[in-house]
Structure 1
Amino acid sequence: MFYPNVPLLHAMVAITVIVVYTRGVVRLTEHSRKLKDFVASTTTRMVIDGRMDLAGMEEESMSRSELFQSLRMAGIEQLGEVERAYLEPSGKLTSFPFAPGRTRTGLALLPPCEENWPAPLEENSVVPDSKDYCCWR
């Protein structure tokens, strides 16, 4: 018994129902493409050539901060380092960096609380041509 007040038979019935239900769903998805698409998720592109794929992010309801967090966890410092990134059906983000020497300038993935966060430019300020800039908002 799992608990003194619950008979073993009840637990066995619950486990049997779960196993039968799972096997039934698996068999149905093997025969129906529409049901498989409804039940199982697919791989979705999140980053392409150092830029966010907004259509993929909208499809998966992934926010920019969630994407940045996942890329930071993979050791990525800025978006220009990533050639492709995919959200897998498991929920993990797989990223493929550019080959050495092909890295582009990209959006910083550092959170705004970092001390070396770039200062924002004012609306009518003169922008020097000697640096790379990106839009944040």
Structure 2
Amino acid sequence: MVIIITRTLLTYGFIVLFFRLMGKREIGELSLLDIVIFIMMAEIAVFSIEDPNNPISHAIVPMFLLVIIQRLTAYISLKSKRFRDWFEGKPSLIIANGQVDENEMRRQRYNFDDLMQQLHEKSVKGVQDVEYAILEPNGKLTVFEKEQPQSSGFVHLLIMDGEIQYDALKTLNKSVQWLEAELLKKGYSELDQISYCTIDQAKNWFIDLKDER
């Protein structure tokens, strides 16, 4: 037991030291390499503690090597934008001029649930209030709202990615037939071609078609 406690304290001390050497970054700003290194260090630390028969150097040396790799790639990233773009990725324009770019979302494996969650986290009611939205390499969504909000009151999401949101219809006490009839009046006969459709408390509709550029 004493050996395990000692190895745990030593491993903890080395990990703290190595993380200090890697520099200060917020969790949300970690690059892909940082995340991989943290996971690998955690695995190495677990193996080191679970198997007291192996010398602790078998854990410290790989951790130190990971720190060297991280420092080296960070230095190259500072010197080369091409390397930084290739290694860490580029920002992706998800919403441009108020329209959703579904092609870019598919390339980034980014779905409407992700988009709506991150918009709501920024107190944005819906796509109609966004001029531009940029998906950063670290997964955060940067949102530039329109100068004049397009929505009024609560926004009900009726269609998302071509699928009817039945819970919203239930909240409005409306039927699918009502939705189809209203959209037909506006010239939309195929619901599965609608990427995003909402109605707010002032009865303002917002409709974005799939792959409409």
Q: TM-score under structure 2 normalisation?
A: 0.50
Fraction of identical pairs, as percent: 23
Superposition pairs for residues 48-127 of structure 1, below 5 Å?
Answer: 48-99=96-147, 102-104=148-150, 108-109=156-157, 112=165, 113-114=167-168, 115-116=171-172, 119-120=175-176, 121-122=179-180, 127=185
* Alignment gaps of 5+ in structure 2: 1-6, 9-48, 187-202
Question: CA–CA distance in 2 between the matches of 1:8 and 1:72?
Answer: 47
Q: CA distance change for structure 1 residues 89 and 108 in 2, over 3 Å: closer, same or farther?
A: farther
Instruction: Please state whether the residue corresponding to 1:134 is helix, strand or coil.
Output: strand
8 Å contact 2:128–2:206 — kept in the other structure? no
Q: Deviations over 1:8-36 (max 9, x none)?
A: 21121021110112123234444555433
- Give the superposition deviation at 1:124: 9.8
- Give the superposition deviation at 1:87: 0.8
The alignment yields a C-alpha RMSD, in angstroms, of 3.4
Q: Higher Cα Rg: structure 1 or 2?
A: 2
8 Å contact 1:79–1:109 — kept in the other structure? no
AA in 1 matched with 2:172 = N
* Alignment gaps of 5+ in structure 1: none
Which one has a larger percent strand, Structure 1 or Structure 2? 2
AA in 1 matched with 2:67 = V
Q: CA distance change for structure 1 residues 5 and 82 in 2, over 3 Å: closer, same or farther?
A: same
Q: What is the match of residue 11 of structure 1?
A: 59
- Give the superposition deviation at 1:122: 3.2
Q: What is the match of residue 38 of structure 1?
A: 86
AA in 2 matched with 1:48 = A
More RCO (CA 8 Å, sep 6+): 1
8 Å contact 2:99–2:208 — kept in the other structure? no
- Give the superposition deviation at 1:48: 2.0
